[in-house]
A and B are shown apart, each in its own frame.
Chain A
Amino acid sequence: MRQLNSCKQFNMLKKGAFFLLIMLLHGVVFAQNTQLKGTVYDNTKQPLPGVTVLLDGTNKGTITDFDGNFVLKAENVQGAVLSFSFVGFQTEKVPVDGKTSFTITLNESAIALNEVVAVGYGVMRKSDVTGSTAGVKAADVVKANTSSVNEALQGRMSGVAISSNSGAPGGDLKIRIRGANSINGSNDPLVVIDGIIGGSLKELNPNDIASIEVLKDASSTAIYGSRGANGVILVTTKAGKSGETKVSYNGYMGVQSISKKMDVLDAATYASVVNEKRISEGGSPKYSDDEIDGYLANGGTDWQDEIYQTAMMQSHDMSVSGGSEKTRFLVSAQYLDQEGIIKNSNYDRLSYRANLETELSEKLTMTTRISGFQSNSNSYNLNYPNGSISMDALSFEPTNPAFDENGEYTESEFSTVNNPIADYEQLDALSKRDGVDLNVSFAYAITPKLTFKVIGGTSKKSSDSYRYDSKYTYSGRGNNGKASISNSWNSSWQNTNMLTYIDSFDDHRLNVTFVNEQFGYKSRSNGTTVTDFDVNVGSNDISLGANSINPRSSVSESSLMSFLTRVNYSYKDKYLVTAAIRADGSSKFAQNQKWGYFPSASVAWRVKQESFMQDVEAVSNWKLRVSYGVTGNQAISPYQSYAVMNPGVNYPIDGSENSVGIVLDRFDNPNLTWETTSQFNVGTDIGFFEGKVNFSVDYYSKTTTDLLLDVPVPNYSGFKTELRNVGSLSNRGWDLSIGMNLGENDFKWNGTLTASTNKSNIIDINDADNILYDNGDMNTILEPGSPFGNFYGYKYDGVWKSSEADAAAVYGAVPGDAKFNDLNSDGKINSDDRQVIGNALPTWQFGFSNNFSYKNWDMSVLFTASIGNEIYNGVDARMMGVANTDATSTDILNRWTPDNEDTDIPGFSSTNAENNAYQVESSRFIEDGSFLRLKNLTIGYTFVTKKPKALFSSIRVYAQGQNLFTLTKYKGYDPEVSNGGSDKTPGYDTAPFPMARVGSLGVNISF
Chain B
Amino acid sequence: MKKNIISLALSCMVLIGSFTSCNFLEEDLSTQLTPDNFFKTQEELEAAITPIYTYIFKNNARTGGLVTFGYTVNSGDQALTSPRGLNKQRLLEFDNFNVSTQNPDVEKLWYALYRGVSAANNVIENIDRIQEIPMDDNLRKSYISEVYFLRAFAYYNLAIYWKEVPIITKNLNGTEASNVFKSSLEDVFTFILSDLDKAGDLYSYQKDDKARANLDAVRMLKSYVYLNMAGYPLHKGVEYYQMAADQAKLVMEAGDHQLEANYEDLWRYDNRFSKEHIFAFYPDFNSGRNYGSYGNKSFRGTEEGGWKDLVVTNEFYRNFPKDNRLNVTIYDTIMYNNKGKELPEENWKAAIEAKEKHTWIGKYRDLGGANWNEATSNAIYPIFRFADALLVFAEATNMANGGPTAEAYFALHQIQNRAYLDTPAEDLMLAEGADQTTFDRAVLQERAWEFAFENKTWNDNVRRERVKETNINHADEEVGFDPNSITPERFYAPIPERESSLNPNLDVDPDPDH
Residues of A near any B CB (own CB < 8 A): 1, 3-4, 6-7, 10, 13-14, 17-18, 20-21, 24-25, 28, 30-31, 411, 413, 415, 444, 446-447, 450, 452, 477-479, 495, 497, 499, 514, 516, 518, 531-532, 547, 549-550, 555-561, 563, 585-588, 594, 638-639, 642-664, 667, 711-720, 722, 812, 830, 914, 917
Contacts and interface: CB of A to CB of B under 8 A. Distances in A.
A555 B1 CA distance: 47
Contact of A719 (B26, B49, B86, B118): B118
Contacts of A654: 208-211
B171 A664 contact: yes
Task: Give the bracket for the number of chain B residues in contact with chain A.
Answer: 35 or more
Contact of A642 (B27, B85, B283): B27
A95 B367 CA distance: 93
Interface string B1-38: 11001101110110111011011111111111111101
A713 B291 contact: no
Contact of A659 (B16, B46, B118, B165): B46
Contact of A717 (B50, B174, B374): B174
B47 interface: yes
Contacts of A411: 339
A646 B15 CA distance: 39
B147 to A, nearest CB: 12
A712 B287 contact: no
A446 B55 contact: no
A30 B1 contact: yes
B15 A642 contact: no
29 contacts: A18-B16, A24-B8, A31-B1, A415-B339, A415-B373, A444-B9, A446-B2, A478-B374, A514-B13, A550-B288, A561-B19, A643-B35, A647-B33, A649-B60, A651-B54, A652-B282, A652-B287, A652-B291, A653-B50, A655-B209, A655-B211, A661-B49, A661-B54, A662-B44, A664-B171, A667-B171, A715-B115, A716-B165, A716-B168
A585 B26 CA distance: 10
Contacts of B19: 10, 13-14, 561
A559 B24 contact: yes
A648 B291 CA distance: 11
B26 to A, nearest CB: 7
B5 A7 contact: no
A407 B400 CA distance: 70
Contact of B28 (A7, A478, A497, A667): A7
B273 interface: yes
Closest 3 A-B residue pairs measured CB to CB? A718-B118, A478-B371, A661-B50
A644 B34 contact: yes
B47 A660 contact: yes
B505 to A, nearest CB: 10
Contacts of A639: 27, 29, 32
B34 A645 contact: yes
Interface of B is mostly: helix
A7 B177 contact: no
A364 B176 CA distance: 61
A563 B18 CA distance: 12
B287 A658 contact: yes
Contacts of A648: 60
A651 B171 contact: no
B210 A655 contact: yes
Contact of B55 (A3, A518, A561, A649): A649
Contact of A4 (B22, B30, B38): B30
Contacts of B51: 649, 651, 661-663
A514 to B, nearest CB: 8
B266 to A, nearest CB: 15
A713 B23 contact: no
Interface stretch (B106-114, B251-259, B406-414): B106-114
A655 B273 contact: yes
B286 interface: yes
A662 B47 contact: yes
Contact of A652 (B8, B111, B211): B211
A665 B135 CA distance: 26
A663 B122 contact: yes
Contacts of A587: 24-27
B209 A715 contact: no
The interface centre, meaning the residue of B32, B36, B283 with most chain A CB atoms within 10 A of its CB, is B32
B31 A644 contact: no
A717 B34 contact: no
Contacts of A559: 24-25
B53 interface: yes
B174 A655 contact: no
Contacts of B28: 3-4, 7, 557
B117 interface: yes
B340 to A, nearest CB: 10
A114 to B, nearest CB: 33
Contacts of A645: 33-35, 38
B20 A561 contact: yes
B272 interface: yes
B246 interface: no
B370 interface: yes
Contacts of A647: 33, 47
Interface stretch (B194-202, B446-454, B496-504): B496-504
B445 to A, nearest CB: 32
B436 interface: no
A655 B47 CA distance: 15
A715 B111 contact: yes
A657 B284 contact: yes
B50 A644 contact: no
Contacts of B319: none
A451 to B, nearest CB: 11
A877 to B, nearest CB: 16
A650 B50 contact: yes
B2 A477 contact: no
A713 B177 contact: yes
B31 A563 contact: no
B31 A557 contact: yes
Nearest to A11: B24
Contacts of A3: 23, 26, 28, 30
A711 B338 contact: no
A499 B9 contact: yes
A917 B88 CA distance: 12
A833 to B, nearest CB: 13
B17 A585 contact: no
